[in-house]
A and B are shown apart, each in its own frame.
Chain A
Amino acid sequence: MAVASTYRDQHFKGSRVEQERLLGQSCTLYVGNLSFYTTEEQIHELFGKCGDIKRIIMGLDKFTRTPCGFCFVEFYLRNDAENAIRFVNGTRLDDRIVRTDWDAGFIEGRQYGRGKTGGQVRDEYRTDFDGGRGGWGKMIQQKVATSAANN
Chain B
Amino acid sequence: MSRRKRDDGYEHGYRKRRRVVSEQAEIEDRLESLIIRVGDKTSSSLESNLEGLASVLEADMNTYKSKILRILSECPIQMPEKCTIYSTLVGLLNAKNYNFGGEFVEQMVRNLKEALREGQWESARLIVRFISDMVNCHIVSASSLLQLYDSFIDAAMEQGVPQVRRDWYMYALLTALPWVGRELFEKKENDLERIMAAMEGYLRRRNTAHVAALRVWNCDTPHPQEEYLECIWAQVRKLRTDEWQERHIYRPYLAFDSILSEALQHNLPVILPPPHTASTQYPLPWVVFRMFDYTDCPEAGPLLPGTHSVERYLIEEHLHQIVTRHHNERKELATQLLAFPQRNKIPLEYMIVEVLFSELFNMPSPRYLEISYGCTLIELCKLQPSTMPQVLAQATELLYERIDTMNATCFDRFVSWFSYHLSNFQFRWSWDDWQNCLSLEKDHPKAKFVSEVFGKCLRLSYYKRVNEMVPECYSPLLPPKPEPYFKYQTEGGNGLPGATQVQALTELLRKKPTPEEVLELIQQLPNPLKDDDGDMEPSHNPLAIEVFVQTLLHLGSKSFTHTFAGLAKYHSVFKTICENEEAQICMLRQVYELWQNHPQFLGVVVDKMLKTQIVECCAVANWIFSRDMAPEFTRSYIWEILHLTIRKMNKHVVRLEKEVADARAKLRAAPSDSESSDDDPNREAGEKRRRTVSNKDTPKDGEEQPTEEMVERMEERLEAAQSDQKNLFLIVFQRFIMILSEHVVRCDTDGKDFNTFWYQWTVGRLQQVFMAHHEQVEKYSQTLETLLFTHDLDSNILDTFRQFQALRS
Interface residues of A (CB under 8 A from B): 1-2, 37, 39-42, 44-46, 49-50, 55-58, 83, 86-88, 91-95
Contact = CB atoms under 8 A, between A and B. Distances in A.
A116 B560 CA distance: 29
A56 B561 contact: yes
Contacts of B369: 49-50, 83, 87
Contacts of A91: 375, 378, 424
B328 interface: yes
A92 B564 CA distance: 27
A150 to B, nearest CB: 39
A40 B561 contact: yes
Given A50-B371, A87-B369, A87-B372, A45 B459 contact: yes
B420 interface: yes
A45 B600 contact: yes
A44 B371 contact: no
Nearest to A42: B460
Given A49-B370, A87-B372, A88-B371, A93 B420 contact: no
B461 interface: yes
Which secondary structure dominates where chain A touches chain B? mixed
Contact of B462 (A39, A50, A55): A39
Given A49-B370, A91-B424, A41 B375 contact: no
B645 to A, nearest CB: 13
A88 B460 CA distance: 13
Interface string B370-393: 111011001000000000000000
A44 B640 CA distance: 15
A100 B423 CA distance: 18
Given A42-B460, A55-B564, A87 B330 contact: yes
Contact of A49 (B420, B560, B564): B420
Contact of A93 (B372, B460, B600): B460
B257 interface: no
Nearest to B600: A41
Contacts of B372: 83, 86-87
A116 to B, nearest CB: 27
Given A49-B369, A49-B420, A50-B371, A86 B560 contact: no
B330 A86 contact: yes
B604 interface: yes
B559 interface: yes
Given A41-B459, A86-B330, A95-B461, 9 more contacts: A1-B328, A40-B561, A41-B600, A44-B560, A45-B459, A45-B600, A49-B369, A83-B369, A86-B328
B295 interface: no
B413 to A, nearest CB: 11
Contact of B560 (A41, A50, A88): A41
B560 A46 contact: no
A49 B564 CA distance: 20
22 contacts: A37-B462, A39-B462, A39-B559, A40-B561, A41-B600, A41-B601, A44-B560, A45-B456, A45-B600, A46-B423, A49-B420, A55-B564, A56-B561, A57-B561, A86-B329, A86-B330, A86-B372, A87-B369, A87-B371, A87-B372, A91-B424, A95-B426
Interface string B451-467: 00000100111100000
A7 B604 CA distance: 32
Contacts of B371: 49-50, 83, 87-88
B561 A44 contact: no
**Shortest Cβ-Cβ A-B pairs, 3 listed:** A45-B459, A49-B371, A92-B424
A44 B460 contact: no
A40 B426 CA distance: 20
B559 A40 contact: yes
A50 B378 CA distance: 17
Contacts of B560: 40-41, 44, 56
Nearest to B327: A86
Contacts of B426: 95
A45 B460 contact: yes
A41 B600 CA distance: 8
B782 to A, nearest CB: 31
A6 B627 CA distance: 56
A91 B378 CA distance: 9
A55 B370 contact: no
Contacts of B378: 91
A93 B560 CA distance: 18
A57 B565 CA distance: 12
A79 to B, nearest CB: 10
B122 to A, nearest CB: 22
A55 B420 CA distance: 22
Contacts of A87: 330, 369, 371-372, 374-375
Contact of B460 (A1, A40, A46, A56): A46
Interface string B551-577: 000000001110010000000000000
Contacts of A42: 459-462
Nearest to B648: A52
A37 B462 CA distance: 10
A101 B463 CA distance: 29
Nearest to A82: B328
Interface string B321-332: 000000011100
B778 to A, nearest CB: 23
Contacts of B416: 49
Nearest to A41: B600
A9 B651 CA distance: 35
Contacts of B375: 87-88, 91
Interface string B574-612: 000000000000000000000000001100100000000
A87 B459 CA distance: 18
Contacts of A57: 561
Contacts of A44: 560, 600, 604
B335 to A, nearest CB: 14
Nearest to A54: B611
Contacts of B420: 49
Contacts of A41: 459, 559-560, 600-601
Contacts of A49: 369-371, 416, 420
Contacts of A94: 460-461
Contacts of B559: 39-41, 58
Contacts of A39: 462, 559
Nearest to B560: A40
